[in-house]
Amino acid sequence: MPGAVQSRLAGWWQEGLIAAPVHLPLSQHQYQSRKALAVEAYESQLRLFNAEQLADISVPERYWTLDPHPKPAR
């Protein structure tokens, strides 16, 4: 959904949080292989997705940390 990530990042900022992406120690190939195996384990559910949704399944996941805004020094 276009703009969804930016909207959520802005919402967290307004709530006093800073979001930072987490970089996992897996190579892209290792990650995609593991994710493909996990998705294939639910073959019966794959029929519920349209072509666009199936294409999105192969996209790497993104994880974020949320930390409070640093307080300004007084």
What are the boundaries of each domain within the chain?
4-68
Kindly tell me the burial class for residue 51, based on how many C-beta atoms sit within 10 Å of its own C-beta (0-12, 13-18, 19 or more).
exposed
pTM: predicted TM-score of the whole model, two decimal places: 0.56
Task: Assess whether pLDDT exceeds 80 at residue 19.
Answer: yes
Rounded-to-integer distance, Cα 6 and Cα 19, Å: 11
Query: Each residue of 29-68: pLDDT tens digit?
Result: 676 777 778 877 887 878 888 888 777 777 777 889 999 9
CA distances from 53 to 35, 45, 58 (A): 15, 12, 9
To which residue do tokens 């979001």 refer?
19
H-helix segments, 1-74: 4-14, 28-40, 43-46, 51-57
